[in-house]
Amino acid sequence: MRSDARRNRERLLQAAETMFRERGIDVSVGDIADAAGVGRGTLFRNFASKDALIAAVVADRISELLDYGRGLLEGDGDDAEVMFTFLSGLAERQERNRALLQAVSDDLVASVPELRAAHAALLELLGALLARGKRAGSVRPEAGAADVLFLVKSLCTVTPAGAPVPGQTAIRHLDLVRAALSTPEYSRPLRGEPAPLRP
């Protein structure tokens, strides 16, 4: 890929991520192209459809998450906490991209090879982090990578209506994920405030 074409692609990815975060997933491809300073034709030469653009942005975010997790595996010596440190960092990153995540369906993942590969790599990473926690006795021995991914998807894509303080609610839900994965010896009280029940 030529350097100018590579720069255009990067500008489109950056513009798309920013606009999805600020305006939601329904933002038009024309607006994204304008924000990137390129024409619609350039956008569609790089990404065949809006779904392809979404998939590329998500793949980039997963790649960053994988780098973060692998860094923890190499540099964090606390086997008992490394899984939970990763989950906390993941939740912080995903909170910034909630609208984007809500647009990612299982069908989209299955149809895009890059996303399938990223998904498989994430499961492998989660398995390695879980293994560290299990060796330390902080993670339930029966917990699997798919279990964690299911919990994380729920954590990152559901926004309770009427949450008293969004940050507190997110902390509480992260603690609930920890509670589901922890052995009794490593359980902790829940922080934050529960979301009010809707009538």
Q: For the chain, which residues make up each domain, given as ranges?
A: 1-47, 49-159
Contact 132, 82 (CB under 8 A): yes
197 has a pLDDT exceeding 70: no
Q: What is the pLDDT of residue 76?
A: 85
CA 62 – CA 98 distance, rounded (Å): 13
Query: Of residues 14 and 96, which shows the higher confidence score?
Result: 14
The domain 1-47 having CATH identifier 1.10.10.60: the answer here is: yes
Same fold, 1-47 and 49-159: no
Residue 198 pLDDT: 60
Q: What is the pTM of this model?
A: 0.83
Yes or no: say if 140 and 83 are a contact pair by the CB < 8 Å rule.
Answer: no
- CB contact set of 108 (below 8 Å; sequence gap of 6+): 51, 54, 55, 115
Q: Is domain 49-159 annotated with CATH 3.30.70.270? A: no
Bridge partner residues of 139 (DSSP): 182
Cβ–Cβ < 8 Å for 8, 38: yes
Q: How much is the mean pLDDT over the chain?
A: 85
pLDDT of residue 174 exceeding 50, the answer is yes
pLDDT of residue 196: 67
pLDDT at 193 > cutoff 80: no
φ, ψ at 113 (rounded to 5°): -55, -40
Length of the chain: 199
